[in-house]
Amino acid sequence: MATPPSISVIVLAYNRRNYLKGGVASVLDQTLPRDRFEVLVFKNFDDPEIDAYLSAQGVRNLTSPPSSRPRTLRTVLQEAKGDVLCFMDDDDLFTPDKLAFVEGAFAADPTLGYLHNEFFVIDDEGKPYAHSPFPQVTERVYIPAGDGRTRPLPIRALDLGFNSSCVSIRRDWVGPYLDSFDRREAEWSDRILLCTALLSGRAFLADPTRLTRYRYHDSWSNVLHYSLDSLDRIAEMDAQNIAVLELIRGLAPGTVMEQWMREDMVYVRFHRSLFARTADWSPRLRDFFDFFTSSLRRRNTAFVYLIPLQLLSRLAPREAPKVYFGLATLFRRFSFRRSAGAEGPA
């Protein structure tokens, strides 16, 4: 086996303090020797207790201004020293053997550029759900180096552009894309990492081993309660997604991925138009048809509720978002079931 690559774990925290120490502790509690990886925390707040903990644990603590998002990929590459970057959102956790697995995978395949592992789903208290609706791979999905431009569709069906806490990348392919990110002022995201990895020509691996604990809770990314603030936040997230999709389309002209991004754009615009209080896009008949057909192609059932909600919004624009939040609450209640008495996966 080749010399193991060095690893940098990148922990990202934005306006959220309560989970950060637990997340960092799970990174430090690894079977991989501590001298084989570094830990960097990128956050946009100061907190004396958290800062003292990070310092005591030998974790690099990089704080940006409170008004900004600490998710600048260029800054991450400038600060991190590892050959492999392993990402984690502050509210998630790593299993103890995560980094040993990552090191082994990248050492075994010098062409590997992107690794996605599977995950347990936990609640706010860290207890596991016995069932969740998130798709999971059950066998290895491997795309050899050079095939990513022509074979991305199987990956889209598995929805692997999701949850950066499951993502590890080899850093050397990212550099050529940084100028495009900066020029278009697109905030980097899980989807950007996935798509640019495929475009770079590096090999891709999705492995069914569950090495991450993904926390599903009410927060910025899990908004379930109806309010004007929630509407604005969802509309903002969708606007960011549209910017990302436009960026990737520009990087992938003439590829299968360009079609993939075009289909995703229809979905996100449908979604955003329900929540944006100032409408800047309204679906036409052709858009309804494109959304329906692309949803069938991708086996995405979102059309079942988004198309009726779009029609409802024409008649009662204030009621459609309320119905959406009601459906979301019912979905969560029936789709997520906790394990009785369980304290979390070992």
State how far the Cα of 337 lies from the Cα of 333, in Å rounded to an integer: 8
Mean pLDDT of 147-153: 62
Residue 165 included in any domain: yes
State how far the Cα of 195 lies from the Cα of 148, in Å rounded to an integer: 9
Q: Are 117 and 210 in contact (CB under 8 A)?
A: yes
Sign of CA dihedral 30, 214, 80, 99: positive
Indicate whether 270 and 301 sit together in one domain: yes
Indicate whether 237 and 201 sit together in one domain: no
The 10 Å Cβ neighbour count of residue 322 is 11
Residue 201 included in any domain: yes
Burial profile 3-15: b = 16 or more Cβ within 10 angstroms, e = fewer: ebbebbbbbbbbe
Indicate whether 140 and 270 sit together in one domain: no
Packed helices 20-28 and 48-56: angle between N→C axes, nearest 10 degrees: 10
Maximum C-alpha span of the chain: 64
Indicate whether 69 and 179 sit together in one domain: yes
Domain count, the chain: 2
State how far the Cα of 107 lies from the Cα of 93, in Å rounded to an integer: 23
Residue 220 included in any domain: no
Residue 341 included in any domain: no
State how far the Cα of 275 lies from the Cα of 323, in Å rounded to an integer: 12
Indicate whether 68 and 144 sit together in one domain: yes
Range of the domain at 63: 7-215
Q: Are 310 and 273 in contact (CB under 8 A)?
A: yes
pLDDT in tens, 56-99: 999 999 987 765 554 567 788 889 999 999 999 999 999 999 99
Q: What is the pLDDT of residue 235?
A: 80
Residue 45 included in any domain: yes
Pair of tokens at residue 302: 């979102």
Query: What band does 136 get if pLDDT is binned at 50, 70 and 90?
Result: confident
pTM of the predicted model, to two decimals? 0.83
Averaged confidence pLDDT in the chain: 82
Which of 215, 238, 261 terminates a domain? The answer is: 215
Indicate whether 249 and 178 sit together in one domain: no
Q: What is the pLDDT of residue 220?
A: 44
Indicate whether 161 and 246 sit together in one domain: no
Q: Are 76 and 188 in contact (CB under 8 A)?
A: no
pLDDT-wise least confident of 115-129, 198-212, 318-332: 318-332
Indicate whether 277 and 147 sit together in one domain: no
- DSSP per-residue string spanning 49-62: HHHHHHHHTT-EEE
Which one is predicted more confidently, 48 or 150? 48
Q: How many residues does the chain have?
A: 346
Q: Is the pLDDT at 268 greater than 70, yes or no?
A: yes
Residues 6 or more apart whose Cβ sits within 8 Å of residue 243: 184, 185, 186, 187
- DSSP per-residue string spanning 7-36: EEEEEEESS--TTHHHHHHHHHS-SS-GGG
Indicate whether 161 and 28 sit together in one domain: yes
Indicate whether 189 and 252 sit together in one domain: no
Residue 147 included in any domain: yes
Burial profile 216-237: b = 16 or more Cβ within 10 angstroms, e = fewer: beeeeeebeebeeeebeebbeb
Q: What is the pLDDT of residue 119?
A: 94
Q: Is the pLDDT at 257 greater than 60, yes or no?
A: yes
Indicate whether 233 and 148 sit together in one domain: no
Residue 27 included in any domain: yes
Which one is predicted more confidently, 123 or 39? 39
Indicate whether 68 and 33 sit together in one domain: yes
Residue 2 included in any domain: no
Query: What band does 187 get if pLDDT is binned at 50, 70 and 90?
Result: low
